[in-house]
Amino acid sequence: MGEKAELYRFPLHEELSVFFSQKSNGSPASDTSITDMPYFNYTDYLPGSMDYGFAFQNSDVKNELAVDVTGVHSNNLSGAGTCPVTPNSSISSSSCEANGNVEQGRYKKADKMKLEEEREEDKGDDEDCDKSKKVQKPRKKGEKRQREPRIAFMTKSEVDHLEDGYRWRKYGQKAVKNSPYPRSYHRCTTPTCTVKKRVERSYQDPSFVITTYEGQHSHESPATLRSSNWVTTRNLSAVAPALGRELIMQQLFHPMMGSSSASHPLFGAMENPNIYLPSLPDALSDVPLQ
């Protein structure tokens, strides 16, 4: 693939403390104000009406963290997240590609079956719908579309689609209002998995890619399945950023999950005892990590 995403190191405890303590109580925990951090922006960072909760990036320390809290306030806190890993981490891209094949050849058939099943379910209600029109999954009247919780990442990268260990199928692309860069829509290719991902480039700083995950994987990442040694002490430093980021997300969205997050399907790699789990600011968690 030849992807050239820049590798980010996970924010240090202090750095995160600054961020989150300010976010939570409005007063900086140290001399470093979050507003002093380059590239920092709240919601106005993104074009269109993407509803991110906040976004954070610090060009000096080369880290990035963005969290979307959309849907968190809703009744469903069941979870969201994936396992993004920047492509040029020491995880070999070849292993990622090989792992990708796990799902190949399964998508189309299964997906079609899934779609047909869904349609079958709705048939009763829609018997008299105009069949000549394109069929979008009909919803019952008055039934509001439920949005899964979303999580957004900003990553400095030359390539739009970052390898994250999962396989995605692109199903749409739209021009973004006020932005020269289009937004692309992807779905996880695993048949039973409903996770979606949107990818767009920041119009303010085109070197940044904004990736938004929606939903929760119902399976492990093909990459983690493929190799239990996916994360070792050798490549730990490179993988830690993504894992730590995941952990942050997890803690943000699921303060009660605590240690159980380590066995969450989304975080299979965390089961590896070699992984260092950075401690998190107290504000993030009610439950100790380990």
Partner DNA sequence: CGTCTTTGACCGGCGC
Partner DNA sequence: GCGCCGGTCAAAGACG
Residues at the site binding DNA, with contacts judged by CB under 7 A: 48-50, 103-109, 115, 130, 133-139, 143-145, 167-174, 176-177, 183-185, 189, 196, 198
What torsion do the CA atoms of 112, 102, 210, 36 make, to the nearest 10 degrees? 150
Give min distance, CB of 271 to DNA, in A.
27
4 vs 177, beta carbon nearer DNA: 177
CA distance readout (Å), 17 to 9, 116, 158, 280: 16, 48, 30, 8
73 vs 145, beta carbon nearer DNA: 145
Give min distance, CB of 114 to DNA, in A.
10
State the Rg of the chain over Cα: 20
Task: State how beta strands 182-188 and 196-201 pair.
Answer: antiparallel
Identify the three-state secondary structure at position 188: strand
- Cβ–Cβ under 8 Å, residues 52 and 41: no
Q: Measure the CA–CA gap between 222 and 102, rounded to whole angstroms.
A: 7
50 vs 262, beta carbon nearer DNA: 50
- Cβ–Cβ under 8 Å, residues 22 and 33: yes
Measured at the alpha carbon of residue 67, what is the angle toward residues 181 and 1, in degrees to the nearest 5? Answer: 50
19 vs 208, beta carbon nearer DNA: 208
Q: Measure the CA–CA gap between 246 and 258, rounded to whole angstroms.
A: 13
33 vs 173, beta carbon nearer DNA: 173
- Cβ–Cβ under 8 Å, residues 280 and 248: yes
Give min distance, CB of 169 to DNA, in A.
5
Give min distance, CB of 231 to DNA, in A.
25
Give min distance, CB of 163 to DNA, in A.
12
Give min distance, CB of 160 to DNA, in A.
9
Give min distance, CB of 280 to DNA, in A.
29
User: Which are the contacts of 164, defined by CB distance < 8 A and separation ≥ 6?
Assistant: 82, 83, 84, 85, 221
183 vs 245, beta carbon nearer DNA: 183
48 vs 258, beta carbon nearer DNA: 48
